[in-house]
Structure 1
Amino acid sequence: MPAPTFLVADDHPLFRTALIQVLRERFAQMRTVEAASAATLGTALQEHPELELVLLDLAMPGARGFSSLLHVRGEYPEIPVVVVSSNEHPRVIRRAQQFGAAGFIPKSAPAEDMALAIETVLDGGSWFPPMAAERSEADAALAAKLAQLTPQQFRVLLCIADGLLNKQIAHELGLAENTVKVHVTAILKKLECYSRTQAAVLVKSLEPESTA
């Protein structure tokens, strides 16, 4: 059996090192790929089709709340994603599950629990801490709407949320301005939004609750 390859996406080098150490103790032959931002996460996914699991921190540069999770699930649905986060708010855990994560590991979890969670997901299961938050129909509806977007449309949506104009989005993504215009029209229709501002507010709702 070939050695599994894991993608560890976190902007803190020390935590990436610690998590890789946990993996190495349980999966001696495994290989790891690292990412420290939403952009390097996307590059790593493109360059490593052999990936079997993504371990994802939600709070990375370039990410908007759950946007990286939604991006990976939309573009690479065959690769399971385990969220590894310091934000243990019950609704954050529940939303991660509703937005397609196969597991959620609090950063405060013991190494043994981390290893068990990863093994469970690799075996086709799921692993989440006990959750007090109820399933949200609004989140389910939002996830269903966002799932209709193509990966490129999702990138355009994040640019809209950052307040960029079509011309700026075209420059940012290397697209023709007319192509961006077509994407924006399709995005607003799929999300049932009447304006760019309404779409931006929808993206804002992807931000996780504060742990405070």
Structure 2
Amino acid sequence: MKIILADDHALFCHGFSLLLQQHAPDVQCFIACSFDEAMALLESHPDTDLLMLDLNMPGMRGITSVQAVLRAHPGLPLSILSGEESRGQMEALLRAGASGYIPKALPSPVMISAIRLMLAGGVYVPPQVLERESGALAEQPDRRAGGVDRRADSGVRPEPYVAVQLSPRQQDILRLLAEGKPNKLICRELDLSEGTVKTHLNAIFRVLGVENRTEAAVKARLAGLLG
């Protein structure tokens, strides 16, 4: 497997490379010092399995850069690295399509687990985003679904409308999605075809008023839908 790590802090890159050698020797890591260097590496290695971008390195323009990369390389897992731990910033980048947000202060074992999760097709959502309190996601009005304009409550209890609209099978899929499991593992655990799982996921996104797996996982936790 291949990872591109783009960060202008040489000490962090060195430490990260050593960490991978110790705990994930099967992963090959390429280092870039700027956003432009990362893009050049990505062109040279189109089979890259995970792109990790420092939020504040030269050439990086936050959400704009994330969206540009994902438009040019749809399906590529992209993770943000940062020394900042602003909950609002994390949520915004995850909504933009990032597969994870890794604070640099994370303990090494947690960081390795997060990387393995993303390499397996999952989404790493930092604990700060999953805190059960009124936050940016909980305060936003839901998109219309079934002709009803619904608003999230305090983020602790699910709304009856959502609970009624999700079938038991969809609740199972939502739970596995929130655990970061990719479609193939969900299919295997629930003995469903990939087409069936995708159909259920589309229905779940409509009911929750979200557009992707990351938003669904975050909103499900904030709304207390995962038990």
Output the TM-score relative to the length of structure 2: 0.56
User: Contact conserved, 2:35 with 2:53, CA < 8 A, in 1?
Assistant: no
Q: Does residue 30 of structure 1 match 2:27?
A: yes
1:157 maps to what in 2? none
2:136 maps to what in 1? 134
Q: Does residue 47 of structure 1 match 2:49?
A: no
Ranges in structure 1 where 5+ consecutive residues have no aligned partner: 141-212
1:74 maps to what in 2? 71
User: Contact conserved, 1:58 with 1:68, CA < 8 A, in 2?
Assistant: no
Mapping for residues 2-151 of structure 1, pairs under 5 Å = 4-130=1-127, 131=129, 133-135=135-137
Whole-angstrom distance in 2 between the partners of 1:104 and 1:64: 15
Whole-angstrom distance in 2 between the partners of 1:60 and 1:66: 13
Whole-angstrom distance in 1 between the partners of 2:64 and 2:53: 11
By how many angstroms is 1:54 displaced? 0.8
By how many angstroms is 1:20 displaced? 1.6
Deviation digits for residues 65-115 of structure 1 (CA, Å, limit 9, x no counterpart): 223322221111221011111111001110110011111110000000100
Q: Secondary structure at the match of 1:124?
A: coil
Whole-angstrom distance in 1 between the partners of 2:68 and 2:13: 21
Whole-angstrom distance in 1 between the partners of 2:65 and 2:17: 20
Q: Secondary structure at the match of 2:136?
A: coil
Whole-angstrom distance in 1 between the partners of 2:109 and 2:64: 28
Whole-angstrom distance in 2 between the partners of 1:73 and 1:102: 11
Deviation digits for residues 26-59 of structure 1 (CA, Å, limit 9, x no counterpart): 2113211111112111111111112100111111
User: Contact conserved, 1:38 with 1:60, CA < 8 A, in 2?
Assistant: yes
Identity over the aligned pairs, expressed in percent? 31
What letter corresponds to residue 88 of structure 2 in structure 1?
R
Deviation digits for residues 108-135 of structure 1 (CA, Å, limit 9, x no counterpart): 0000010010111111211111315423
What letter corresponds to residue 20 of structure 2 in structure 1?
L
What letter corresponds to residue 48 of structure 2 in structure 1?
L
Ranges in structure 2 where 5+ consecutive residues have no aligned partner: 144-227
Q: Secondary structure at the match of 1:88?
A: coil
1:179 maps to what in 2? none
User: Contact conserved, 2:101 with 2:126, CA < 8 A, in 1?
Assistant: yes
Mapping for residues 118-197 of structure 1, pairs under 5 Å = 118-130=115-127, 131=129, 133-135=135-137
Whole-angstrom distance in 2 between the partners of 1:6 and 1:103: 14
What letter corresponds to residue 105 of structure 2 in structure 1?
S
- Aligned Cα root-mean-square deviation (Å): 2.0
Which contiguous aligned blocks of 4+ residues in structure 1 show a shift greater than 3 angstroms? none
